Amino acid sequence: MTPAERRASLSLAGIFALRMLGLFLVLPVFALEAAHLPGGDDPALIGLAMGIYGLTQAVMQMPLGLASDRLGRKKVIVLGLAVFALGSMLAALSGSVHMLVAARALQGAGAVSAAVTALLADLTRDEVRTKGMALVGMSIAGMFALSLVVAPPLAGVIGLSGLFWLTTALAVIGIVTVLLATPAEPARHADQPRGRLAEVWLHPNLWRLDLGVFVLHTVQMAMWGVVPGLLVQAGLAKAQHWHVYLPAVLASFVMLGALLAAERRGQLRLVLRSGVALLLLVQLALLLAAPRAPGLWTLGLVMFFFFTAFNLLEATQPSLISRLAPAQARGAALGVYNTLQSLGLFAGGALGGWLVKSFGPQAVFAATSALAALWLALGWAQAVPPPRPRP
């Protein structure tokens, strides 16, 4: 990478990290802490509060991605982070799960993922773009690991409301980072072709990636409605859940490095298939283990393989979208991609909560296994660009 590409990658990864830390801080404790609020005795309502963020984000991703093609990436990013901060403030002031649903919906309206990844694609060359996207993916995984360590004890001290106030502060820091640290975006000329959603919505090289990100985030959100309860059932107190999560996340980084090395050797299609297959195996393992009260070692091993698959797919898929999409519609393509990602967050939260309430935890893993198997079958023929020359 050139110095400018490193600066762009690090600053944009930092913006992603700040925003995702705000989201992840509440994720490991949300179901347990929200149970103390009015309406917290309804798993389906709690699942809706977790997932509604993804629904409103899905509504806004495509318009804001398209707007970033036309108006500029940085303007859209600052606007989205401001809306996210406002929703976080409302969540901090919420006195019931019903109010949390509304606040989480407003949080989701600040949908900046497409604009951030499009700006990163604008500021990096093809041959180093996966490195930049991997930095973003690793920053997200790192923030998730950090949240697993600090969220339970923080929730014990400042409560769910305090976590949302912290989220507000992180969003403000993200705005400052965009304005002061991120390189200027390329000039946009009035006669430059503008992207259209029709170019990318059913693009023959993109729709499998859009399906994939929907499944990936449906699966991970549904899991977080069940896995914390399995850890408590295995004898691990809420404040100690990071004892399982953190080693699993850190170990997954080692495996991720090996898999990305295979991608650099021109084996990207094999890497993608391996990631989806590993996600399917994790869901089948949880399906078999859930009714047998799995122990901590079993859950830790399963979570290691989950984080490996999740981090791998999070790092490679956005890079593929940016490389396969028409150049003038990159923001629109990433908008569609992030819309499906957000719909997955909503579907996972809402569907997972309903399945737990109606049929029990095992039904969640039966559904996620079926979704992962569908992705593996339909994504088997995913198009990939030719191997890139080494920089």
- Give 251-310 as a DSSP string: HHHHHHHHHHHHHHTT-HHHHHHHHHHHHHHHHHHHHHHGGG---HHHHHHHHHHHHHHH
Highest mean pLDDT among 123-132, 197-206, 327-336, 344-353: 344-353
pLDDT of residue 190: 46
Q: Which residue has the higher pLDDT, 42 or 187?
A: 42
- 80, 196, 197 from 202: Cα distances, Å: 26, 12, 9
pLDDT of residue 266: 66
pLDDT of residue 39: 81
Question: What tokens appear for 279 in the block?
Answer: 């996600």
pLDDT of residue 258: 65
Mean pLDDT of the region 135-163? 77
Closest CA to 24 of 174, 218, 190, 164: 164
Tell me how long the chain is.
391
Mean pLDDT of the region 366-390? 81
Q: Is the pLDDT of residue 40 over 60?
A: yes
Count Cβ atoms below 10 Å from residue 231 Cβ, excluding itself: 23
Q: What is the CA 386 to chain-centroid distance, rounded?
A: 27
pLDDT of residue 283: 93
* Range in 20-24, 233-237, 283-287, 377-381 with the lowest mean pLDDT: 20-24
> Would you kindly state where each structural domain of the chain is located, as residue ranges?
3-181+196-378
Distance CA 389, CA 84 (A): 39
pLDDT of residue 191: 47
Would you tell me the crossing angle of helices 330-359 and 296-324 to the nearest 10 degrees? Answer: 150
DSSP 71: H
Which residue type does 381 have?
Answer: A
Q: What is the pLDDT of residues 253-277, one digit of tens each?
A: 777 666 666 666 667 788 888 889 9
Dihedral Cα 135, 137, 141, 147, nearest 10 deg: 90
Average pLDDT in the chain: 80
289: exposed, middle or buried (C-beta count within 10 Å: 0-12, 13-18, 19+)?
middle
Distance CA 218, CA 19 (A): 20
208 close to 382: Cβ distance less than 8 angstroms: yes
Class of the domain covering 3-181+196-378? mainly alpha
pLDDT of residue 141: 66
pLDDT of residue 323: 76
Distance CA 43, CA 46 (A): 5
318 close to 133: Cβ distance less than 8 angstroms: yes
126 close to 76: Cβ distance less than 8 angstroms: no
Mean pLDDT of the region 45-53? 79
| Coil, helix or strand at residue 68 | helix
Question: What tokens appear for 161 in the block?
Answer: 């409301």
377: exposed, middle or buried (C-beta count within 10 Å: 0-12, 13-18, 19+)?
exposed
The pTM of the full predicted model, rounded to 2 decimals, is 0.70
Question: What tokens appear for 383 in the block?
Answer: 């198009």
Cα–Cα–Cα angle for 224, 226, 230, rounded to 5 degrees: 120
**What is the band of 89 on the pLDDT scale with cuts at 50, 70, 90?**
very high
Alpha helical stretches, state H, the chain: 3-34, 43-71, 73-92, 97-109, 113-122, 126-180, 197-200, 207-223, 227-233, 242-264, 268-289, 296-324, 330-359, 361-378
Q: What is the pLDDT of residues 308-321, one digit of tens each?
A: 888 788 777 877 77
pLDDT of residue 372: 93
Question: What tokens appear for 84 in the block?
Answer: 């996210």
Q: What is the pLDDT of residues 284-303, one digit of tens each?
A: 999 998 888 888 898 889 98
271 close to 259: Cβ distance less than 8 angstroms: yes
Mean pLDDT of the region 3-26? 79
Q: What is the pLDDT of residues 183-195, one digit of tens each?
A: 877 765 444 555 5
- 293, 312, 352 from 343: Cα distances, Å: 31, 20, 13
